[in-house]
Amino acid sequence: MATPHAEPELNGRRILICRPEPEASRLANRFQAAGADVRILPLIDREPLPETAERRTLILSLDEYSHVIAVSPFAARLLLDEVDTWWPQVPMGIRWYGVGAGTAAVLEEYGLNPLKPPEGWTSEALLSLPSLKDFQGERVLLARGENGRELIRETLEARGARVTPLPLYRRFCPEYSPEQTQETLETFAPEAIITLSGETLNNLIALCANSSHNLYDRLLIVPADRVAEQAREAGFRNPCIPGSLADNDIVATVAAQLGGREGGSGKAK
């Protein structure tokens, strides 16, 4: 008989979540269920871009694409909203992709059968899929934010694809008063900080520099090796990558690391 895994114990541990909403509150609820004291300070937010004639034309020509890639759950939701508006049913013959399990889950909820990396949740992991290895001029629609990494587009174009970026939203850093910053960084004094993108980490670094708060010895949860290296270069001493970006795995990783246990739920970097 299998022994059930113990629930993470974080009684009284102080956790700062820098994700955007609604993901931040969802993760906060999971931390609170484990006994943690949680603050939410989104250091990145998103807003949909206004509709344009060009974007509408791209959506109406969806059936001309062989592959459609969504880079995030937010991009997937916005893309499916557009498809639902302009198509009575999804065109046949398209291969759909999600960068990671969370993005793929949004596509699955819509009734699609997306491909996703068997392991990992990064652009690099997605690009390892066999169906994205070689192209003979097939068209690829890339649903993403207004700005961001160009790795997927550049790599697929080098492999022979014709890639059309479809910007659906913009990212920005919310503004906080000095009082809000002091209460969160100094008075609350988090023991662990959740920063799940390179851009979020950059905004945390800027916030620390502008407010003279030093959080570089705190546990820092990051999404991938690339961001862990970025964190180390900025002076953070304890970046850690969870086993996945699922809420339960993030909470388990924080519990293991703050409890002095390594391995298992995540890897210190």
Q: What pLDDT, on a 0 to 100 scale, did the predictor assign at position 7?
A: 62
Q: How confident is the model at residue 55 (pLDDT cuts 50, 70, 90)?
A: very high
Q: What pLDDT, on a 0 to 100 scale, did the predictor assign at position 2?
A: 38
Q: What pLDDT, on a 0 to 100 scale, did the predictor assign at position 265?
A: 42
- Domain covering 47-171, topology: Rossmann fold (3.40.50)
Per-residue pLDDT reduced to its tens digit, 79-88: 999 999 999 9
Q: How confident is the model at residue 31 (pLDDT cuts 50, 70, 90)?
A: very high
User: Which residues lie below 8 Å from residue 141, measured CB to CB, with a gap of 6+?
Assistant: 58, 62, 65, 67, 68, 69, 164, 166
Per-residue pLDDT reduced to its tens digit, 142-163: 999 988 778 899 999 999 999 9
So what CATH class is 14-44+174-268?
A: alpha beta
Chain Cα centroid distance, residue 90 = 26
Q: How confident is the model at residue 239 (pLDDT cuts 50, 70, 90)?
A: very high
Identical fold, 14-44+174-268 and 47-171: yes
Domain ranges of the chain: 14-44+174-268, 47-171
Q: How confident is the model at residue 209 (pLDDT cuts 50, 70, 90)?
A: confident
Per-residue pLDDT reduced to its tens digit, 87-127: 998 999 999 999 888 899 999 999 999 999 887 778 888 99
